[in-house]
Structure 1
């Protein structure tokens, strides 16, 4: 039997300038499943993604494996240098397939259902990031994001392009961008301890609940290890509840085990896993 990919729909152009296409997985010309390939530009580099992979007939016969390998060849032909796959946290079959094909976990999506706001330590003060502080905060936020992206495998030029694009898109009006909370945490003497960037309505979930998203939590290097990261996350939850949002999500790079443990201790659960590998 011969397993191949066959286009299911015309190629689509993405708003980012990339491309995407849905494919049928076929055995001897007969459809037995499908998947989607996408390519998005980051600077001079294209990053591929395989999604919506499913086998509807004849599972456990290696058809998903062959389909995924064929999808990688499509992405190579599109000049992608890396590829990501993502799947729900409990999908052990997808995780096993990805590991077999040489993918390694690089990022987690985590979510928490919010109820009552927690009290912050009384010695801490919260202040908004206004125009006088926005420039220096933005410079630090970009530097931290750049470090995370390059550590996860993205080339420096591509990472810099993504940093600029994401910040311009998400902070269109700077510190006054609607639906955005930018906050700093200080001690009783006014010493800066850390900062928070929160998008209060990232998207609406299938059940109708709004989802807020933690874009950035940063503790000043000299003040790390004293619980201020936890305080900033509690602040994020308070900001959400004050805005009427009861669900908060975030991305965390898998290698940041300190942050993963913090979020787990606060009640966040992993909802999706993102794994990737080089196509070079």
Structure 2
């Protein structure tokens, strides 16, 4: 079932059958930020964490879904080859707040293809997931963002997200 996200765009719930498309979107996300890296390992991430318990949503241009992609009078979606590729993706998992012990939503990926950026899609997806999380009883949403991703940082800061912790890494030499 799909619904309007913004004028001109619809959002629909994905399914576990969308594994390959999710992987493609994840690879695009990281390749945008790190163009010279190989992200074939992301397949293992999707394999390990993507399930019916980690919801996935797709954004498509309204009227661009392709003929026959919906069964009339049914909530069932078909994976029609006539479907135009989505222009945005939102994948959410679960995390536990280690301070208070509460489950909360954690955004694994929010990606909008470059041609559709700066149209409010990212902001609308964040509002969508916030409403979804509130409805299921979550009291917070978490996400991780690279410091070099200034547009995303600006969006999250503008929406009221705050740094709660810093993820630190130290690269180790394999040689002894």
Q: TM-score, normalised by structure 2?
A: 0.70
Q: Does 1:167 align with 2:55?
A: no
Q: Report deviation, 1:249.
A: 0.4
The alpha-carbon distance between structure 1 residues 248 and 182, as it changes in their structure 2 partners (threshold 3 A), is same
Structure whose CA Rg is larger: 1
Q: Report deviation, 1:187.
A: 3.5
In the alignment, the residues of structure 1 paired with residue 98 and residue 167 of structure 2 have an alpha-carbon distance, to the nearest angstrom, of 19
In the alignment, the residues of structure 2 paired with residue 146 and residue 221 of structure 1 have an alpha-carbon distance, to the nearest angstrom, of 12
SS of the equivalent of 2:87 reads: strand
Question: Unaligned 5+ residue runs, structure 2?
Answer: 66-85
Question: How many residues are paired up?
Answer: 150
Question: Which of 92, 96, 100 pairs up with 1:198?
Answer: 92
**2:112 alignment counterpart:** 219
Work out which structure has the larger RCO, using CA pairs closer than 8 Å and 6 or more positions apart in sequence: 1
The alpha-carbon distance between structure 1 residues 198 and 184, as it changes in their structure 2 partners (threshold 3 A), is same
Q: Does 1:241 align with 2:134?
A: yes
**2:10 alignment counterpart:** 125
The alpha-carbon distance between structure 1 residues 278 and 179, as it changes in their structure 2 partners (threshold 3 A), is closer
The alpha-carbon distance between structure 1 residues 183 and 259, as it changes in their structure 2 partners (threshold 3 A), is same
**Contact in 1 for aligned 2:89/2:111 (Cα 8 Å):** yes
The alpha-carbon distance between structure 1 residues 132 and 195, as it changes in their structure 2 partners (threshold 3 A), is same
**Contact in 2 for aligned 1:202/1:210 (Cα 8 Å):** yes
Question: Unaligned 5+ residue runs, structure 1?
Answer: 1-118, 172-176
**Contact in 2 for aligned 1:203/1:210 (Cα 8 Å):** yes
Task: Identify the structure with the greater strand proportion.
Answer: 1
Q: Report deviation, 1:167.
A: 1.8
Q: Does 1:271 align with 2:164?
A: yes
In the alignment, the residues of structure 1 paired with residue 18 and residue 102 of structure 2 have an alpha-carbon distance, to the nearest angstrom, of 33
Q: TM-score, normalised by structure 1?
A: 0.46
Question: Which of 165, 168, 187 pairs up with 2:61?
Answer: 187
SS of the equivalent of 1:273 reads: coil
Q: Report deviation, 1:265.
A: 0.4
Q: How does 1:1-280 map to 2 (within 5 A)?
A: 121=6, 123-130=8-15, 133-145=18-30, 148=33, 150=34, 156=37, 160-161=40-41, 163-171=42-50, 177-190=51-64, 192-199=86-93, 201-276=94-169, 278=171
In the alignment, the residues of structure 2 paired with residue 274 and residue 165 of structure 1 have an alpha-carbon distance, to the nearest angstrom, of 21
* Cα root mean square deviation, aligned: 2.9
**Contact in 1 for aligned 2:104/2:139 (Cα 8 Å):** yes
